[in-house]
């Protein structure tokens, strides 16, 4: 089935994203400063660009691992059913962990993942989200650190996709669906 026609309007520039990540990295470094090694867990796929830029800004010893969770498929709305498609390779028990999420929307994915990881008994577990969409929240969860709070818009870019497209945009853009006749 063909995707509807759409346009993308820039919401957050690449320059703004880079500046915010630099500031967030300083806060994270101060928070975890005494840790021997921080395990940075990226939630695939949307966080891969964010995690790459974030860990390059972290002036500390980091280990990177990935977990893939899905609640969207190719839809623009969350299914609220979180599936784990790829689990961590490493152990996190007794270690400091930072979970990196691209966007917190309904909150179901982040809640599910943090509960699952807390059961593995990390020393500390904190979360960071590039984007937070509080108007859509359906569960009580908030990331420890947030890059940008955004309105209830469907967004793409900087790793975030629509049906596996537009992840390579260097900015965050709002998707505007076009009328069939436009």
- Catalytic residue list: 105
Rounded alpha-carbon distances, angstroms, from residue 14 to 10, 28, 51, 101, 146: 10, 21, 15, 18, 16
Q: How many CB atoms lie within 10 A of CB 28?
A: 22
Paired sense of beta strands 62-70 and 83-86, if any: antiparallel
Sign of CA dihedral 143, 79, 73, 134: negative
Strands (E), the chain: 6-12, 38-44, 62-70, 83-86, 96-104, 124-132, 145-149, 155-156, 172-177
Q: Return the axis-axis angle of helices 14-32 and 48-57, rounded to nearest 10°.
A: 60
């Amino acid at each position: 089935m063909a995707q509807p026609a759409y346009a993308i309007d820039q919401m957050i520039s690449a320059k703004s994203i880079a500046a915010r990540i630099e500031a967030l990295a300083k806060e994270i470094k101060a928070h975890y400063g005494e840790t021997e090694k921080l395990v940075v867990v990226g939630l695939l796929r949307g966080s891969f660009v964010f995690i790459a830029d974030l860990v390059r800004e972290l002036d500390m010893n980091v280990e990177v691992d990935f977990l893939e969770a899905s609640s969207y498929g190719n839809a623009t709305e969350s299914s609220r059913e979180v599936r784990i498609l790829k689990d961590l390779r490493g152990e996190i028990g007794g270690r400091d962990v930072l979970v990196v999420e691209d966007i917190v929307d309904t909150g179901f994915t982040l809640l599910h993942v943090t509960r699952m990881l807390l059961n593995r008994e990390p020393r500390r577990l904190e979360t960071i989200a590039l984007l937070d969409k509080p108007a859509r929240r359906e569960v009580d969860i908030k990331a420890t650190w947030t890059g940008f709070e955004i309105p209830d818009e469907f967004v793409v870019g900087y790793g975030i996709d629509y049906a596996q497209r537009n992840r390579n945009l260097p900015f965050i853009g709002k998707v505007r669906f076009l009328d069939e006749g436009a």
